[in-house]
């Protein structure tokens, strides 16, 4: 029962002199000693640190002790999807690559995944082998036509357990047309709602802007993942993205969380990449994922092949990084 429920004798007008004396408030248990360095995340329940042969914690690429994220447990029932927007208004930072490969890795771990291409460039759809002009129905039709349902638009992605809502250049018209709609920022949330019961995770690949389509994605989402290229100029503009996320949280979607900031195209051999990573951890603390995605040409090759790196080059370091990211993400969602 909620605290607001009335119990006998405590309702309005009860004689307060007849009530039993108040008990002293319970003493909370002492807080665990987290030490001075809160960025060391050994205290989080799902994180077991990797230890070297000498027993010392292994320092990961973000400069923090690297936790060992457990193998996710299999799911026997599906549904109640967590919706996550892949968002950064800077172009070419790895949003689409992360959507495809995180989605495919989550599907490998038995999660039912839907990818939503929410970029008129349609890169996600092309990256999964679709031809922009051969699409029958796209997200545009779902947004703008009342008789089109999510089932009409969803197609198999070619990866077992992962489906796709494709897009093409038609979606750019939606941005203009939605301006005249009632509750225009909630349109994607409304049309996507019936799909949540069929999936465990829905990843929305945003376009590189903070316009109405991206605000729709943030309004429909439970969480945001911010891919960020490990390059100095990538740090500029992050404050504006944070302000946009805060505004959406205040005005449209109070439950919106930042699931994590992901360093992409990391090159550990260069001082530059490591410095950018240090700055990122200073600014965002434990929001930064321990997993980073290194720079490798395998990603462009797999895009040309129209499939995720997890199947194109299954044992490559890039595929392993996205598997590690999916374990870390599931641990953060407490879906391990």
- The contact set with ligand ATP (CB under 6 A) reads 91-97, 119, 121, 123, 208, 264-265, 293, 295-296, 299-300, 303
Residue with Cβ nearer ligand ATP (97 or 157):
97
Residue 198, classed as helix, strand or coil, is helix
In whole angstroms, how close is the CB of 297 to ligand ATP at the nearest point? 6
- Rounded to whole angstroms, the Cα distance separating 83 from 96 reads 16
Picked from Mg ion, ligand ATP, none, the partner binding residue 303 (CB below 5 to 8 A depending on kind) is ligand ATP
In whole angstroms, how close is the CB of 327 to ligand ATP at the nearest point? 18
Report yes or no: 81 and 114 within 8 Å, Cβ to Cβ. yes
Over the window 90 to 129, marking each residue x when it contacts Mg ion by CB under 5 A and - when it does not, the resulting string is -----xx--------------------------x------
Report yes or no: 257 and 245 within 8 Å, Cβ to Cβ. no
Q: What is the dihedral of CA 214, 89, 224, 205, to 10 degrees?
A: 60
214 is an interface residue for Mg ion by CB under 5 A? no
In whole angstroms, how close is the CB of 323 to Mg ion at the nearest point? 21
Residue showing tokens 């195209």: 265
Q: Give the helix ranges, DSSP H, for 89-203.
A: 95-108, 123-127, 139-144, 150-153, 171-177, 187-192
In whole angstroms, how close is the CB of 123 to Mg ion at the nearest point? 4
In whole angstroms, how close is the CB of 103 to ligand ATP at the nearest point? 13
Residue showing tokens 């309004």: 219
Residue with Cβ nearer Mg ion (99 or 187):
99
- Rounded to whole angstroms, the Cα distance separating 189 from 196 reads 10
In whole angstroms, how close is the CB of 231 to Mg ion at the nearest point? 17
Q: Which stretch binds Mg ion (CB under 5 A): 89-97, 134-142, 300-308, 325-333?
A: 89-97
264 is an interface residue for Mg ion by CB under 5 A? no
In whole angstroms, how close is the CB of 226 to ligand ATP at the nearest point? 11
Residues whose CB is less than 8 angstroms from the CB of residue 277 and which lie 6 or more positions away in sequence, other chains included: 61, 62, 63, 230, 263, 266, 288, 292
Residue with Cβ nearer ligand ATP (119 or 163):
119
Residue with Cβ nearer ligand ATP (97 or 216):
97
Count residues binding Mg ion (CB under 5 A): 3
> Can you spell out the DSSP letters for 260-301?
EEEEESB-TTSHHHHHHHHHHHHHHGGGB-S---B--THHHH
Q: What tokens appear for 219 in the block?
A: 């309004």
Report yes or no: 258 and 226 within 8 Å, Cβ to Cβ. yes
Residue with Cβ nearer ligand ATP (265 or 281):
265
Picked from Mg ion, ligand ATP, none, the partner binding residue 112 (CB below 5 to 8 A depending on kind) is none
Residue with Cβ nearer Mg ion (62 or 214):
214
Q: What tokens appear for 33 in the block?
A: 């000693």
Residue with Cβ nearer ligand ATP (60 or 208):
208
- Rounded to whole angstroms, the Cα distance separating 153 from 151 reads 5
**Binding region for Mg ion (CB under 5 A):** 95-96, 123
């Amino acid at each position: 029962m909620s605290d607001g429920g009335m119990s006998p004798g405590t309702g309005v007008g009860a004689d307060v002199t007849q009530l039993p004396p108040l008990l002293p408030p319970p003493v909370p248990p002492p807080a665990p000693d987290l030490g001075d360095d809160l960025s060391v995340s050994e205290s989080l329940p799902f994180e077991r640190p990797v230890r070297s042969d000498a027993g010392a914690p292994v320092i990961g690429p973000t400069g923090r002790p690297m936790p060992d994220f457990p193998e996710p447990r299999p799911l026997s029932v599906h549904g109640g999807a967590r919706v996550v927007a892949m968002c950064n208004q800077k172009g070419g930072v790895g949003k689409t690559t992360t959507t495809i490969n995180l989605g495919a890795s989550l599907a490998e771990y038995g999660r039912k995944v839907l990818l939503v291409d929410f970029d008129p460039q349609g890169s996600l759809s092309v990256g999964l082998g679709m031809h922009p002009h051969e699409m029958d129905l796209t997200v545009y039709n779902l947004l703008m036509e009342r008789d089109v349902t999510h089932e009409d638009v969803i197609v198999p992605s070619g990866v077992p357990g992962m489906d796709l809502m494709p897009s093409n250049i038609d979606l750019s018209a939606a941005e203009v047309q939605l301006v005249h709609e009632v509750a225009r920022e909630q349109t994607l949330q409304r049309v996507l709602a019936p799909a949540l019961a069929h999936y465990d995770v829905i990843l929305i690949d945003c376009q590189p802007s903070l316009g109405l389509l991206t605000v729709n994605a943030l309004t429909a989402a439970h969480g945001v993942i911010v891919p960020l290229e490990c390059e100095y100029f990538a740090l500029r503009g992050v404050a504006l993205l944070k302000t946009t996320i805060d505004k959406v949280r205040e005005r449209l979607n109070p439950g919106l969380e930042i699931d994590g900031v992901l360093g992409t195209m990391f090159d550990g051999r260069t001082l530059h990449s490591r410095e950018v990573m240090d700055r990122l951890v200073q600014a965002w603390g434990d929001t930064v994922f321990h997993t980073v995605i290194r720079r490798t040409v395998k990603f462009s090759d797999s895009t040309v092949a129209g499939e995720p790196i997890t199947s194109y080059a299954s044992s490559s370091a890039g595929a392993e990084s996205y598997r590690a990211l999916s374990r870390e993400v599931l641990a953060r969602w407490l879906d391990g």
